[in-house]
Amino acid sequence: MINTRVTIPEGLRNTQVVARLAEQSGIAADEFNAVLANPSQLQLPTWANGATEGFLFPETYVFDTEPTAVQILSDMTAHFNTVADQIDFVAKAEALGVSPYDAVTIASIIERETRDPVYGPDIAQVIYNRLAQGMPLQMDSTVGYAVNSQGGTVTTTDEERANPSPYNTYVHPGLPPGAISNPGKNSLTSAVNPTHGDYIYFVTVNPDTGETKFSSDAAGHDANVAEFQVWCRANADRCG
């Protein structure tokens, strides 16, 4: 007889994961937080350096007996390792010249920037190209993490983009210090399999459908932004 089933979707940050685990398992959130604060009992890869954000793999987990917080979180990190092995994550990251830890961070950004996995490899291309050119990433998803946004709008404000958090890639160059979400297999795969090209911009021109357009110059980007602004005018309550 199945006693406990927990389902975690892609793209949640740890605080959101804990809230869902507590609700679905009946285990107090404090118990999960205590394990995450001292993750030595979890099956994290050595190169995670004790970080847990980005390594709680989103999936449905079923337990035949009543699990503990340690068991649930251990299964999640173990599943991350399994998927990473399946897609040759570490070797492919190193072949791109990035650490696997940074590749998880890239995957976590991809996860938050698109809901359609078809765009993941192109978003990865944009990230790698901007890093190579010394351009700030300027990803709104990192701002959302920095200000602990709970969603509701698809844009960020000037004040939010000025937040001094090290996770804010409008303010700080390079990657944030760690993952901003817990990515799924598609985003992890995209992070180490970027398409090749000269894209340095992208815009989700229709957040309802997820349609995303890419460009390699400011003129193309401005045209895509204008298309997004048309959507915003029709959906003013969702644009900050």
Q: Which of 48-62, 146-160, 205-219 has the lowest mean pLDDT?
A: 146-160
Instruction: Report the candidate in 100, 99, 73 with the shortest Cα–Cα distance to residue 87.
Output: 100
C-alpha 163/C-alpha 50 separation (Å) is 26
- Look at residue 1 and tell me whether its pLDDT is greater than 80: no
pLDDT in tens, 149-170: 876 567 888 999 999 999 999 9
Summary mean pLDDT of the chain: 95
- The DSSP secondary-structure symbol of 155 reads S
Dihedral angle of Cα 166, 168, 171, 176, to the nearest 10 degrees: 60
- The DSSP secondary-structure symbol of 40 reads G
pLDDT in tens, 76-114: 999 999 999 999 999 999 999 999 999 999 999 999 999
C-alpha dihedral sign at 200, 85, 181, 167: negative
